[in-house]
Each structure stands twice: as C-alpha cells, then as structure tokens.
Amino acid sequence: MSNDLLIKGGRVIDPLAKIDKELDLLISDGKITRIADNIENQDVMQVIDADGKIVMPGLIDMHTHLREPGYEYKEDIQSGTKAAAMGGFTAVACMPNTEPPCDNDSVVSNILEIAQRHGSVKVYPIGAVTKGRAGKQLSEMGEMRKAGAVAFSDDGSPVANAEILRCAMEYLKSFDATIIDHPEDMALSENGQVNYGLISTMLGLKGIPREAEEIIVARDILITNLTKGRLHLAHISTKGALNLIRQAKSNGLNVTCEVTPHHLVLTEDYVWKTGYDTNTKVNPPLRTQEDVESLRVALSDGTIDVIATDHAPHHLDDKWVEFDYAAFGISGLETAVPLVIDKLVIPGIIDWMRMAEIMSSNPAKILGVPGGTLQEGCVADVTIIDPERERSVDPRFFMSKGQNTPFTGWRLTGAPYATIVNGKTVMLDGRLV
Amino acid sequence: MSLQGKDLLTLQELSQEDMELILSTARSLKEILSRPIKKVPTLRGKVVCTLFYEPSTRTRTSFELAAKYMSADTVSIATSTSSVQKGETLADTARNLAVMGIDLVIMRHSVSGSCHFLARVLDIPVVNAGDGMHEHPTQGLLDIFTILDYKPRIKGLKVAILGDIAHSRVARSNIYGLTKMGAEVSVAGPSTLLPPEIEALGVRAFCHPEEAVEGADVVYVLRLQLERQSNSLFPSKREYQDFFGLDRQMLAYAKEDAIIMHPGPMNRGIEITTDIADSPRSVILDQVTNGVAIRMAVLYLILGGRE
C-alpha cells in the first residue's frame, strides 16, 4: 500500500459524476480507488490535508505553445510542463508551430519522448493540418494520430482556405480527431497590432477588426455544416463570433470553442494605460468591454466550452522592443487559475462545478484524452485548489521561461495548491515536488 | 519650470498650462533667430542627441539648430549609417549613447509608441520627434504658435485638417493640441484614410472635404504618406487630387482670411496645388521658422538652462 495517496477533507467537485461534496479520495497505482466519506488513514504513504480546499479533476490546458523543438530559448517541454504543474494543470496540449513544425509522426514521437523523460505533467501533441503549416497539402494526420497526436491545427494561422478545411475535416472522420482552428482573416488583420477602434486610432497602431475573427468563424461553421465534421475554435474574443457559435450549436453542429483568461479579464484600454507595454500585445488582440462582458455571459450560458491559456512564452528579447516588432503572446500557465478564481468564481460568474467542466472535463472530451472526472477506477489526475490563498503575480518566480505577462503585480485570491499526475504529486503548496 | 527633466512624448498628455508655457517661452526665444549672432549660452555644456530611424529634413535640422543657437552640443545618429544596420536593438543603441554622457534624446521612429519605450529604457528625458502614426508633439506646438501669428486666439477658431488622417502623427498632435485650446476641429479625407472612431477625440469627420473647409479659419493640408499606403486605400494620385486635394475650388469654401498650412514635405500637385502652396495665404514657411523657436523652448524648459 505504500504507493497510496489519501486526499482528506476536501470539497470534491466532479462535473461528470455530478458530485459536489466533502469527501476523501484514495489513490493507488495511479488510479482513483475509492471516493467516500472519511476514509481511514491506515497505512497510507502520503496524506494531503485538503480541509477548506477544492478537489477537482486535473485541469487540462488544451492550448499551449511549448516551443520545443526549435524555440527552446523561449520555452521547452521541461520548463513548460513545470509551469503547468505550478499552475495546477495535470496535462497540456501543445501547438505544432515549432521548428520544424509538428507535421509528421517523428516530431510527434519526439515530443512525447521528451515529455516522458523531462515532463512534469502529461503532454498531448497537436499535429499540423497541413505540411509545414503552409496551407497547401494535408499532412499525414493518420500517422500522427497513431503516434499520439490528439488533435490537428495550423494554429498561429487559420487553415488556409475553405477547401483545405473541408478536406481535412472529411479526412479526419477516419481518425476520430478534432480540427482546432485559429480564426483570423489574414488579409483583414495584416500588420495589425491592437483591436481596431478608438484605441488603435489613439495609439496610432494598425487595428485588427473583430470581423477578422468572425469571418473565419463563419467560414468554419459553414464548412462544418457541409462536412458534419468536428470543429473547435481557438481563443474566441468577440461578441459577434460568440453569436455565430451560439447559432451553430443550436443548429446541432459539432462546434466547440475556447476563451483565454486574458480575454476574459483585460480590454484594449490596457494597451493604452500601460503606455504601449508589449506584454499586452496578443493575438487575437485585447478587445472592448462589450466583448469581455459577452464572453463572460457565454461562459456561464454554455456557449464557451473551455478556458485555455494560449500560453505563448517569449524571451525578453522578443518583447523588449518597439511595439510593432514585439512578438504576440502572453505566458499564461501560471496565472490562469488565480485569474479564473479571482475574476470569475469569486464574483459568481461561474461556480466551481463550471470551472471544473471548462478546465478539465470539456477539454478531456474534446481531445479524447483520459481525465475530467474523479470516479473510482479513473486515472488519478487531480488538481487541488486553495480558494483563499492570496498572492501577487511576479513573473520572476515563473517556472516558464516566458516572463511575458501583463498581470505583474496583480494581487489575486485563489491558487492551485496541489497538482497530482497519475497519482503522483508533482506540485504541493506552491512547490514542485 | 514644470517641464524640467521630463519627457515630451505627446500633446494628449501635456496640460494646457504646459502647452502655454512652451508657447510663451518660444515667443520670447524667437527673437534670437533674427539676431546677427545667433547664439546664447543658455544650454552650454549640455549635449542633445538626435536619433532618427526615419528620414527627415525639417524636424532634424530644426532641433539641431535650436540646440546650437542655445550653445548645446549636438550629435546626430542616422540609423542608415549606424550600428542599427548591424542589427543593434533600439534599447542597446540608446543605452550606449546614454552612457557617453548625453543629456537628452530626440527620437523619430517609424513605429508608434517607440518613444514611450525609449523613455522606459532611459533615465534621461526623451523628446518625441514623431513616432509612427501616433504623435509629433513639437509639430503640433509649432502649428499652434504659427496660427497665433495670424489669429488672435485659438479658442473658437475653425480648423479643417485634410488628407491622410489615419497615418498622420501630425493630425493627432494637432487634434489634441487644438481641441485642448478650444478650437473647433474638422478632419476630412477619403474614408479609407480616416481612422476609426476619430470623432471620439472631439473632432468632426467628413468624407467630403468641402464640408470640413466650409467657413474654416485655418486649412491644414497633410502630406499624403505615399510610403505608408497599401494598394487599396485610394485608386490613384490623379483621382486623389481631383476629389481630395486642396485647390482653388475647394479653398473657396473657407473664410476669405483663412490661412493655409502644411507640415512638409509637400507632394505638389497631389494634396495641394502649387499656386495655393505658394500663395500669400500660405504660412507654410512660417511654420518652419517657428519650429526652431518651439524646439528651443522645449529644450530650454526640459534641460532647465538658466539665462
């Protein structure tokens, strides 16, 4: 029994089993073996006192950039998964815009091998839809699926055109995987830096209209209707896109979508208020208050399925430059949970059950990976949350190599307390184990 | 001296009080330009650096002469002949210059917000000589100064700004400066060259230039920034001239004593016809002269020299 782990006294949340109750959780050999009132602490090797804490199925971030292979100076699988563990995530899916791009099975295998050796949490590679992410020719998605890719995306860019998307969606029916599309009309957004509107006018920066996102969302939904395939839309940021998605869902299409914590919390004004801080430069850009409010509504009404970070770590060299030259992206793994708790759970926009659903159960379901529940016999991926812990965001202490966050100095209530992967504690009380 | 040691990055953030301080200081310094010996010792021992990431004739010369007339030493970095060509970053270039003892940097850059960035990198004052499509504060000040040579006050004046508003830092600085001092500002051009929600800055926007020029006291023509245009903003220079350029016909909508301004360099025959540019109502060269006085005032007030 010495491998056992007992989590005692926490409030257990399980969206699939519909549990919200103070229970104990016993883990053996990487599986949840018992979930009950007051499990006796017999001969258990490790006990975590979860009194006053929230115990939920391990959080899964289905949209990260781990940068390996190719951009290890920004992040690598080791540092990125440490950041995930610190942030309360038991698994991350990583996007294929690496160098070389993850567009064939050997890159997929390579990522999985490195993750096996150096990863703190589970890593699920996402393969490129097209060779070289160039939008011309389908990549060997079947081989990549066999090697362990969980989904397909040309993220960083949209799938190039409606015909490629149609073919990819049809073809993937043989391999049971979802297309994750990055909705951006590249002609409309070309050279854009911030949201199109008063702020772009005041800053003298080229604006990216919300329609750049909505055009591709609309295209993708129409192609999904044509193929009856599966579509997941990445980092939705506008009210108009949500309306299109809401309608697609009510028409019964297999469309899901995600939103990032920063789009739920920040508006374009922040670029202005910080005097062109390049840490506010992100794609899609920070939008208006109206968009933020509709994202929050969509989060509670079910239009949004997932919160994902779009963790985009960058080196200081890529950000400590003129605004137009700075890279897009926010290092998000280590601020996501505190932001979600402080800005969404505590104010009552979502409850703990909904949080577990959109950060664990739904991503597990969309990617077709284990987890998302705490039922007996299931994999022991568990996240424990301290809802009262108050901390200031300080990127100097990030595990991620990317210190690019616009949240420096924010005092946030709520933090991950423990991250447990396959029954093994990888983070406890803010320290990696 | 409330500007001492500070940056001058925008007119938007500059108080009306500080604007008037610069204008009145320039008014008294302007006299130096007409002296036989154009040199006062005010800034002796100070070093100012012009760091230009974009070509410039007027602004750069104007700043350098302003510094020299007050006995400051000047160094000029043109990026086309500097280590920027070897890939040195702005932050590194600036820090290297600063440790050689420079007291103030004047920068022009093609990217909006670059002067804000430079101000974060450096401890010494930064003066914005034009950042991308954002602001050109000393241009705004010299334009207001020039208007005041011809009109008793800014408050209540009708000012029409014509042309490429979207890409113009001159337009933005003038909008902020003029509206702060009470002018009624209209902007006009093809709608492709009007930035979104511009009216929220307190101006009226028109896509028929005549409507903006109607009854104007000042007609301000912007340079069509051909280098910043994409293919689809307007079809041809010919068509632009025909519908949006300032010619006699369009000028007829303005008040009879309206003055004509342009920040230079002019595209003659495109945004403005030569007869108007060279007419007695044109104050375009006055703007250039006044630019030196304004920049003397700015350097004087920031570097805190004493007579």
Judge: B90–A321 Cβ closer than 8 Å, yes or no: yes
Q: Per-residue pLDDT tens for B239-248?
A: 999 999 999 9
Judge: B112–A321 Cβ closer than 8 Å, yes or no: no
Degrees (nearest 5) of the Cα angle B50, B55, B57?
A: 75
Residue A1 or residue B95, greater confidence: B95
* pTM for this entry: 0.95
Judge: A322–B114 Cβ closer than 8 Å, yes or no: yes
Q: What token pair was written down for A352?
A: 């703990």
Residue A424 has pLDDT above 90, yes or no: yes
Per-residue model confidence (pLDDT) at position A403:
98
Rounded distance between C-alpha atoms, residue A303 and residue B146, angstroms: 57
DSSP code of residue B129: E
Q: Per-residue pLDDT tens for A220-272?
A: 999 999 999 999 999 999 999 999 999 999 999 999 999 999 999 999 999 99
Confidence of residue A12 (pLDDT cuts 50, 70, 90): very high
Backbone angles phi, psi at A20, to 5 degrees: -145, 90
Q: What is the 3-state secondary structure (H, E, C) of chain A?
A: CCCCEEEEEEEEEECCCCEEEEEEEEEECCEEEEEECCCCCCCCCEEEECCCCEEEECEEEEEECCCCCCCCCCCCHHHHHHHHHHCCEEEEEECCCCCCCCCCHHHHHHHHHHHHHHCCCEEEEEECCEHHHCCCCECCHHHHHHHCCCEECCCCCCCCCHHHHHHHHHHHHHCCCEEEECCCCHHHHCCCCEECCHHHHHHCCCEECHHHHHHHHHHHHHHHHHHCCEEEECCCCCHHHHHHHHHHHHCCCEEEEEECHHHHHCCCHHHHHCCCCHHHCCCCCCCCHHHHHHHHHHHHHCCCCEECCCECCCCHHHHCCCHHHCCCCECCCCCHHHHHHHHHHCCCCCCHHHHHHHHHHHHHHHHCCCCCCCCCCCECCEEEEEEEEEEECCHHHCCCCCCCCCCCCCEEEEEEEEEEECCEEEEECCEEC
Rounded distance between C-alpha atoms, residue A130 and residue B301, angstroms: 59
Alpha-carbon gap: B113 to the closest alpha carbon of chain A (Å) = 6
Alpha-carbon gap: A171 to the closest alpha carbon of chain B (Å) = 38
Rounded distance between C-alpha atoms, residue A355 and residue B288, angstroms: 62
Terminal Cα distance for chain B, rounded: 13
Per-residue model confidence (pLDDT) at position A1:
47
Residue of chain B minimizing CA distance to A205: B112
How crowded is residue A278: how many other Cβ atoms within 10 Å of its Cβ? 26
Q: Per-residue pLDDT tens for B62-72?
A: 999 999 999 99
Residue B306 has pLDDT above 50, yes or no: no
Residue B274 has pLDDT above 60, yes or no: yes
Residue B230 has pLDDT above 90, yes or no: no
Confidence of residue B307 (pLDDT cuts 50, 70, 90): very low
Percent of chain A with pLDDT over 90: 97
Per-residue model confidence (pLDDT) at position A78:
98
Residue in A103, A310, A318, A381 annotated catalytic: A310
| A310 has catalytic annotation | yes
Q: Which amino acid is at B226?
A: L
Residue A419 has pLDDT above 50, yes or no: yes
The top-scoring range by mean pLDDT among A243-247, B74-78, B79-83 is A243-247
Alpha-carbon gap: A236 to the closest alpha carbon of chain B (Å) = 22
Terminal Cα distance for chain A, rounded: 21
Q: Chain B contacts of A276, Cβ < 8 Å?
A: 112-113, 116-117
Partner residue opposite A275 with nearest CB, options B109, B116, B196: B116
Residue B87 has pLDDT above 90, yes or no: no
Residue A94 has pLDDT above 50, yes or no: yes
Q: Could you tell me the strand order of the sheet in which A306-307 lies?
A: A59-64, A89-94, A122-127, A151-152, A178-181, A230-233, A254-259, A306-307
Judged by a CB distance cut-off of 8 A, whether residue B117 touches chain A is: yes
Judged by a CB distance cut-off of 8 A, whether residue B130 touches chain A is: no
Residue A42 has pLDDT above 80, yes or no: no
Whole-number average pLDDT of chain B = 94
Per-residue model confidence (pLDDT) at position A2:
55
Judged by a CB distance cut-off of 8 A, whether residue A36 touches chain B is: no
Q: Are A131 and A137 in contact (CB under 8 A)?
A: yes
